[in-house]
Structure 1
Amino acid sequence: MTLESPLLSAIPGLRHAFFTREGGVSGGLYGSLNGGVGSNDDPAHVEENRRRMAEQLGVAPAHFLSLWQTHSPDVVVASEPWQGGSRPRADAIVTRTEGLAIGATAADCGPILFVDPAARVIGAAHAGWKGALSGILESTVDAMEKLGAERSGIVAAIGPLIRQHSYEVGGEFVERFIEADAENGRFFIPSAREGHSMFDLAGLIRMRLENAGILVIDDTGIDTYSDERFYSYRRSVHRKEPDYGRHVHSIALERE
C-alpha cells in the first residue's frame, strides 16, 4: 500500500508514506485507495480510504491533513486540525506539531516531503510544473525556517510523479520555461513529434531544491503514468476516462 524513502525511514520519530492506489475500498476507475476529496468518487469511500491512510501514519483521521491545491507558491502552517472541515487553498503545509500528518495530493504532479530532523520541523509540498516554476519549493523551505529549521539540515524526498519519458509538451510550454530562465532548456529533449518535447519535471524539482540550499535529496524514481500502481491524470485523459483518483503522500512527527 505504501512506498518509503530510505533517507526518511532512517530518521527516528518520523513516519511517512508515498501511498500507492492499493489497499482501499473505492471501485472502478478509482480502485482502490483514492484519497481525492475533489474527485467524483463516493465520498464515503474516500473518507474510509483517508481513514486507512491516517491509521498507517499513526494519527486520527481529523489529524490527516491535505489542502485545496491551486498550483500556487502558497504555504500554510498547521498547528491543529483544520477548523470547520474546510481545507486551506495552498500547495504546501509545514508544521512542528507532533501527531499531525501533513500531505500533498497528486496524480502526476510531484509530491515532496521534507524534514529537518534536528529542529523537528516537517513539510509537504505539491509541485506540478506551474508550482515548481513559481516557487512552491522555495516557499516551503522558507516557511520551515520560520519554524526553526535550517535549510542545510533539511532532507527532502521526491515521490512518484510523471517522468520525462511520459511527459510530452508543446512548443509554447517550452517557450514559457525558457523565457523564465534560459537554463531551463536542460529539462527538455526532442520528442518523436515535430514541435514537441519531453519534459523533466523531476529534474526541475531537484534543481530548485538544490538552488534553495537543500543538500540531501532522495527520489523514488517512479513514473506515475506508466506504473499502474499509481493514479495518473495524463493517463486518464489519454484513455478518455471521465475522472481519476488522487494520492495523498504524507509525513508526520511521532509524539515523543
Structure 2
Amino acid sequence: MTLETPALTARNLSLPGLRHAFFTREGGVSEGVYASLNGGVGSRDAPPSVAENRARMAARLGVESERLLVPFQIHSADAVSVREPWSAEARPRCDGVVTTEVSLALGVTGADCGMLLFADAKAGVIGACHAGWKGALGGVIEATVAEMEAQGARRADIHVALGPAIGATSYEVGPEFAARFRETDESFARFFTPTDREGHTTFDLPAFIASRIAALNVASFEDLGVDTYADEARCFSYRRSVHRREPDYGRLVSAITLL
C-alpha cells in the first residue's frame, strides 16, 4: 500500500485537523470495466481487489482499513451519527454519515451522483453524504447538516465540497423527470435546459446541489467541477456504462477524517 494513491482535494476543506480525499479511478488493482481504483463493494468486481483498493484509500487518509466507513446507500434523505467501526453486515442503510470521532473516516460512493464532504473544524464535526437527484430533492443534504448540528457543529462554520458528479451537459432526462422537480417547486425549472430531442432536457445536478447548500447558509461551498460522464480517465460513470452496454461499473469513493 502507498500514501500516494491519487486523489482530488478541495481548497475549502484543507483545514487544520482534517484530511480528505475525492478518490478518482486511478491507483488501484481492479481490471476491466473496474480499472483500477474501484471502491464499490456492491459491484461485481473481485472482492479482494475492492478490499485492496479500499485499503489504499484508507492509507491515503491515514486510518486503518476497518475505520474507513461507507454506508449502504439507498438514495434516501437519512443521515446518522457514527461512533465506531461497523461490520460489513451492519452497515447502516442511509445516505449521510456524521462523526466527532478522531481517525474514523467517513465515505460515500458515487458514479454520477453527487458526493459531498462536510467539516466544522472548530467543533470537530465532519460528515459525508451521497446526493443523487432523489436524495438531493428529498433532503439528504439538509439532513446531514442537521445531524452535524446535533453533534455540536455550527452551520456558519460548516464547509462543504462537492466531488466528481455528472455534469449539466451530460445528463439528459425525459419530461417525467423534469415534471417531478417542477411539481415540488416551480422555480426548479431553472435547472433544466431543452435539448434537440423533443420533450427532453438536460439536468444540472451540481447547480441543484449548490442551490440546496446555499439555502443553508454554511461557511463555504466548493464544487470541484469534475464531470464523471465526460472525464473517463479519472471517473466511473453509471450513465456512460449504460450507454456502452457494459456489464457493470466501478464506484468512486470520497471520504474525510478528523486527525
| TM-score, normalised by the number of residues in structure 2 | 0.96
Which of 194, 199, 202 is residue 198 of structure 1 equivalent to?
202
- Paired residue for 1:108? 112
Greater alpha carbon shift after TM alignment, 81-90 vs 58-67: 81-90
- Paired residue for 2:36? 32
Greater alpha carbon shift after TM alignment, 75-84 vs 116-125: 75-84
Q: Does 1:20 align with 2:12?
A: no
Over residues 155-194 of structure 1, what are the superposed CA-to-partner deviations in whole Å (9 max), with x where a residue is unaligned?
0001110010000000000000000001101100111211
Shift in Å, 1:150: 0.6
- Residue ranges of structure 1 left out of the alignment (5+ in a row): none
Q: How do 1:1-256 residues align onto structure 2 when only pairs under 5 Å count?
A: 1-9=6-14, 11-83=15-87, 85-228=89-232, 229-254=234-259
Q: C-alpha separation between the residues in 1 aligned to 2:114 and 2:35?
A: 21
- Residue ranges of structure 2 left out of the alignment (5+ in a row): 1-5
Q: C-alpha separation between the residues in 2 aligned to 1:89 and 1:213?
A: 28
Shift in Å, 1:5: 0.3
SS at 2:49 equivalent: helix
Moved over 6 A (4+): none
RMSD value over aligned CA atoms? 0.8
SS at 2:142 equivalent: helix
Over residues 92-129 of structure 1, what are the superposed CA-to-partner deviations in whole Å (9 max), with x where a residue is unaligned?
10001000000011000000000011101000000000
Shift in Å, 1:39: 0.2
Number of equivalences: 253
Q: Which amino acid aligns with 1:251?
A: I
| TM-score, normalised by the number of residues in structure 1 | 0.97
Q: Which amino acid aligns with 2:158?
A: I
